Structure formats: structure tokens, C-alpha cells
Chains A and B, each alone.
Chain A
Amino acid sequence: MATNADNSHAVRMEPGRESAYDLPDAAGHFGSYGGMFVPETLMHPLEELRQAYARCQSDPDFQAELDADLRDYVGRPSPIYHAERWSRELGGAQIFLKREDLNHTGAHKVNNTIGQALLARRMGKTRIIAETGAGQHGVASATVAARLGLECVVYMGEVDVARQEANVYRMRLLGAQVVAVKSGSRTLKDALNEAMRDWVTNIDDTFYIIGTVAGPHPYPMMVRDFQTVIGREARAQMLERTGRLPDALVACVGGGSNAIGLFYPFIDDAEVAIYGVEAAGEGLQTGHHAAPLCAGKPGVLHGNRTYLMEDANGQIIETHSISAGLDYPGVGPEHAWLKDSGRARYDSITDDEALRAFHHLTRTEGIIPALESSHALAYAHKLAPTMRKDQSILINLSGRGDKDMHTVASHDGLVL
């Protein structure tokens, strides 16, 4: 794995590779997006966090500790896998999967929680809080808290607690306290509000591990940086395997952390097309979806300006997706910028299309994907046949589908 400890101002690329892309600015803006839209009480703690993070970025000991944990605890590097049977069947581009599903805890989320927990320990914080929707980030946070001996409280909407029982039990096994949030729509956005309220109340000893590339600066930048290990590895692996860069990248986008982690090291590679896939739920035209980039408008929520699902009066509206991990009314501000700049293209996939892709990968390649990642797979399923056989698509298989057994079974009319 590449390390470049001297490069304190930016994300680590391969040694000797400089990036022309330098967002966000010092105040956390990606063009007109991002920023720090928070109550005054949080402004100074966020500045302390920014400084502590900057020190860690330039600290070779921190980077060595992070790299060792990613290798020995998470199991990195994750492989890329050539889905030959599926590619042959589609008759177009060769499809490669970045296997984040093979990480400890079953998804990309742990790349970020490891980094933030190490930072929390360096800052002398003894208590971790996190928000979670499907429970994957909550499990990944509870996991690292257990390992470092930190107290952990996870906020989860009451609705999600009921539909993700297994993950709630996992978090409790790991020693975390799971708080069911009863306010608002009782889902992920409300869990985030509640975690912010906890943080504002317990700033002195508490570190808030945000699970995606949203929230106030420096979170969108910091979470991105911790997730770019995905794209750094994948870029080198594709060059080694195929002798060239992939022609297209595809990743699902809820908040967008797995996507930005894959995309970021390729932003300067103009020949690589970038596709982010949002959840169209029951269809964009029904209004029951979670696709702010495709069907929302810019606004301010949870500390940053970005595309949102909102009504004509600026109230945030409830979202729908079969995949709890994509069920969020906002999206990371860097994706908003990548959309407006035209560098990345954002499209959407319905619940039904994602389910078909879930079954298809399972039966064709023997890999059971997460429902979130199934949105990316479904998009690639449409894209590959439009491309030549000597071209390639790299999909971020961001998580495994074990957690989704009950959802898929109940959709098929079964009770497990």
C-alpha cells in the first residue's frame, strides 16, 4: 500500500502522483456546497477536530498505525475480482468488482471508523457516538470502540431499530448502547439530529464518528480521505491486472462514502467515466425514492449545503428505498459538486431493479451483495452491453448481503 507521509495537505495518492483537484477549500466548501452550517456551540469543537485531523495526516506514526490496522484488522487490501461469467453473459465490457464486502464487519464502513477512532483516541476522547440507518456504520463503530476500549452510544431511528434487529443485537454484543430515536420520521436523518444533540451536550469527552461524507466540515473531507483507500488500491490493482485504467467506475450513492472513496483517486483521470447510482425506490415519478441528486434541489441540512429531498417550503421530506443504507434525504456535498461540474454522472435504480441484480449476482457469480451495492450492479448491468469487450467497468461492491436476508425473503413472501 502506498504511503506518502510528507503529503500533509492532501489525500495520499501513489508516491510521486500529484493531484490538480484540491477541494474542499479551507472552510470546507466544494464550490457552493459543503461548509459549516452548525450552531455556535459546535464551531470551536469542529475547529479542534480539523486541527487534530491535520496533525494526524502529517504524522507518520498515525499513518503507520492506520495502515497496520487496515491490513491486519480489516483485511486490506481487498481484492478486485473479474466477474467473467457475468461479463460474458452481458456481452460487453469486462466487469470487475472491488471486494469491500470481504472487509471485517462486511462493508466499506470500517475503513472510516478505524481512522476516526484512532483520531478520537489521540484527542483523548473516551466516548464514541455514531448515527446509523441500516446498522452497518453502527456495527463498524461499535466494533472499533470495543477494540479500543471506548464507551459507545449509537443513535438509530425507532423505525430502523425494528427493521434491523440483527444489527441492533450485534451492536449490543459489542458493548454499545443503542438508543432508539423517536423524533421526526424516526429514521436515519433523525438519528443524525440526535447524535448532534448528544455531541453538543457532551463535547468535552465525546467524539462523533459520522458514517458518511456529509455533516459539517471537516467530516466530508475526513471521511472521504479515510475511504479513498478503496480507490487507491483499485487503481493500482486495475493497472496491474489489465495494464490500463478502467473505462468506467460505478458505485451506489446514499450519503456517498463508498462512492467518493472509489472515485476520488480517479478524478484527474479524464478518460475514466464516473457513475454514481442513487435509489429510485418505487420510481422517481412516484416521489417514493431517495435520489436527491437526480430529483432534489440544493439546500442546507446537517451542517452542509447539498442536494436535498425537500418540499416547496424547505421542510425535509421522508425518503424511501428498499436499502436502508441509501435511505437518506441528503448526499455528500462533494457529490453535489461533482454533479454540477459534470465530472461525475448520477443516475438512479429502482427497488425492483436492485433486487433483480441482487439475485443475478448471487446466481451468476456466487456472491451475495448488499442491497445498497445491488443498485450499482443493476446500473452496470445496463451499462456493460453498451460498451466494447475490450473495455472495463469497475464496480464498488461496497458490502455483503448477509444483513439483507430478511428484507429479500419478505419481498419474496417468506418469513425467516
Chain B
Amino acid sequence: MSRIATRFEQLKGQGRTALIPFVTAGDPGPETTVPLMHAMVAAGADVIELGVPFSDPMADGPVIQRATERALAKGVRLADVLAMVRAFREQDAQTPVVLMGYLNPIEVMGYAAFSEQAQACGVDGALIVDVPPEEGHELVTTMKAHGLDLVYLLAPTSTQDRIRRIGEVASGFVYYVSVKGVTGAGHLDMADVAEHVAAIKAMIPLPVGVGFGIKDAETAARVAQVADAVIVGSAIVSRIESLAASPEQIPAAIADVLASLRSAIDAA
């Protein structure tokens, strides 16, 4: 069983909802990321989503765009992100790590080379934002052959047909985008989220995470009532941005943010 599946099994046994923080790898600099990952685990993160910087992040809102620009300015590339995961694994063999990014850096590295190195570094899966199942056959086959999970987005605009189709290729968990928009957008309509998550769960036998637009502990608690995982990105990255000039304070500050999300989710 994959590390992701194992983690969700454990949580299910405990009756808990997963907390999945997203941070951009190498933001504000490469030395921050690994200590930050450990601090997030200590503060209650169940899975870590690590953003791979790309020059043209078309699905991301301004907060994550700026994080990407900070990381790229420090020269952080896909190979560096893989090295960060390898360093993280030296002290943490349990917490699943999912890469989130865009196809082109993987395309240039080569699907086989990427999959081999990701597996060797201890990556558990990837969510490649601009690869729908229609375009992903070769990539999915190669990644799965290396034991990597393929996490897919589902959107408010996904039809029943599309949900079914994504269910056929997704593994690990699926990620419901709770608003029409980019990362960090708008406020979410809870009734709408509950309805969509229920529809997805009826068709796909995987845990369902909800993200995009979860800005505070209160929203996280409400989402936790309907989802298997609460995914928080822009709210964390925005706090990192505010501390970009004093990066040594980032792990502790983000641990505080996660601790409050964790207790709100567990109380829900």
C-alpha cells in the first residue's frame, strides 16, 4: 500500500480529517523548505503538498505566483525540489509528499527520468495541474510503474462523465477545487461543496480533499465536516511572504498557523 493510502487508512481509523498544507518549494529560499516541512508535520500536517516552481503558473492566483517568482529567482528547479524531498526523507519516512506543478519541467526532464528520480527521492505522488486524463496516458503509465500516485483535480464544472473518467486514473486521493477560480480565490459556498463532495464520493472510491479558498480555521472546520482532507495553500504561503525577509522565523510561524487549523479541524 502506498504511503498516501496508508496515511488515509490510519486517519479513517481514528475518525480524523487530514490536514494538507501546500508550500512552494524554495520559497523564499531553498534552505527554508526542509525545516519548514518538518515543522509542519510536528504541527499536525498529515500530507505535504510541495509546489514545483514554473515560470507560467496559469492556475495560480497572485499569492502563489509571487511565491513561484521568489523560488525561481533563487534558482530552484525541479531537480532541486526532488533533492529537498530526499533530504526530508532522511528524518521522516512516514509523511506522504505530493508534488504539485505544471507539465513542462517534467516533459523536459523526461517522464521516465522524472518518475525514477521522484521514486528514489521518496516522493509519493504528483498533481500536474495542466494534464487532464485525456492528455496523461503515457505519463500516468510511467508514474504508476514507479509506484507514484496520480492526484487529479475535480472542479465545480466537472460533469458526471468527467468525474467517472478521472476516477479511472486517479490514485491516492482526489482534490476537489471548491471554487471556480485560481488558487487563493474567493469564498466558498459550503452547501455547494457538500453536494459536490457527496457526488464525487458516490463515484470514486478514493479520499476526497477540498482546497482553493480555505482561508481560515473556521472555514477549515466547516470543510472538515464533509471532506476527507482539508488543503490549505495561499493562506500559508501568504504568511511565508510576510516573513520573507526573516526566513528563520518561518517554520515556527507556519507551525502556529497549522496548529490552529489542526485544532479547528479536530474539533469539527
Residues of B within 8 A of A (CB): 54-62, 65, 69, 72, 77-79, 102-109, 129-132, 134-135, 152-159, 162, 166, 177, 180-182, 185-186
Contact = CB atoms under 8 A, between A and B. Distances in A.
Given A40-B162, A301-B104, A184 B131 contact: no
Given A36-B135, A300-B130, A313-B108, A43 B58 contact: no
Contact of A184 (B56, B79, B108, B166): B56
Among B107, B159, B166, B177, the one with the most A-chain Cβ atoms within 10 Å of its Cβ is B107
A37 B180 contact: no
A412 to B, nearest CB: 34
Given A43-B158, A44-B159, A299-B104, A196 B58 contact: yes
Interface string A17-36: 00000000001000000011
A49 interface: no
A300 B103 contact: yes
Contacts of A299: 104, 107-108
B54 A183 contact: no
Nearest to A202: B180
Contacts of A409: none
Contacts of B129: 39
Given A37-B103, A39-B130, A313-B77, A44 B108 contact: no
Contacts of B102: 300
Given A183-B62, A183-B65, A201-B185, A315 B132 contact: no
Contact of A27 (B56, B65, B134, B181): B134
A300 B180 CA distance: 23
Nearest to A190: B56
| A-B CB proximity, top 9 nearest | A314-B108, A314-B105, A41-B155, A201-B181, A40-B153, A313-B77, A44-B157, A314-B104, A315-B55
A184 B180 CA distance: 23
Contact of A314 (B59, B78, B186): B78
Contact of B157 (A45, A312, A316): A45
Contacts of A193: 56-58
A217 to B, nearest CB: 10
Q: Is the interface of A mostly helix, strand, loop or mixed?
A: mixed
A192 B130 CA distance: 15
B134 A36 contact: yes
Nearest to A203: B180
Given A35-B135, A40-B132, A184-B56, A310 B108 contact: yes
Interface residues of A, number: 39
A316 B157 CA distance: 29
9 contacts: A36-B135, A40-B166, A43-B134, A197-B60, A200-B59, A204-B180, A301-B104, A315-B105, A316-B55
A82 interface: no
Contact of A37 (B78, B135, B159, B186): B135
Given A184-B56, A193-B58, A315-B55, A44 B104 contact: no
A60 interface: no
A44 B154 CA distance: 11
B151 to A, nearest CB: 11
A200 B104 contact: no
A35 to B, nearest CB: 5
Contacts of A315: 54-55, 72, 77, 104-105
B132 A38 contact: yes
Nearest to B109: A314
A313 B105 contact: yes
Nearest to A44: B157
Contacts of A189: 56
Contacts of A287: none
Contacts of A297: 108
A27 B137 CA distance: 14
A297 B107 CA distance: 11
A38 B79 CA distance: 24
A303 interface: yes
Among A36, A43, A302, the one with the most B-chain Cβ atoms within 10 Å of its Cβ is A43
A263 to B, nearest CB: 26
Contacts of A196: 58-59
A192 B55 CA distance: 13
A312 B79 CA distance: 11
Given A38-B130, A193-B57, 8 more contacts: A43-B155, A44-B162, A197-B61, A297-B108, A299-B107, A313-B109, A314-B107, A316-B55
Contacts of B157: 40-45, 203
Given A197-B58, A302-B58, A183 B69 contact: yes
B162 A43 contact: yes
A313 B54 CA distance: 10
A314 B77 CA distance: 9
Contact of A316 (B78, B103, B104, B166): B104
Contacts of A184: 55-56, 65, 69
B56 A301 contact: yes
A312 B132 CA distance: 25
Given A43-B158, A183-B69, A316-B104, A37 B131 contact: yes
Contacts of A38: 130, 132
Interface in A338-354: none
Nearest to B57: A193
B177 A40 contact: yes
Contacts of B54: 314-315
Nearest to A29: B135
Interface string A43-72: 111000000000000000000000000000
Nearest to B106: A314
Interface in A139-192: 183-184, 189-190, 192
Contacts of A302: 56, 58
A201 B180 contact: yes
Among B54, B56, B77, B132, the one with the most A-chain Cβ atoms within 10 Å of its Cβ is B56
A40 B158 contact: yes
Among B78, B134, B156, B159, the one with the most A-chain Cβ atoms within 10 Å of its Cβ is B134
B65 to A, nearest CB: 5
B194 to A, nearest CB: 19
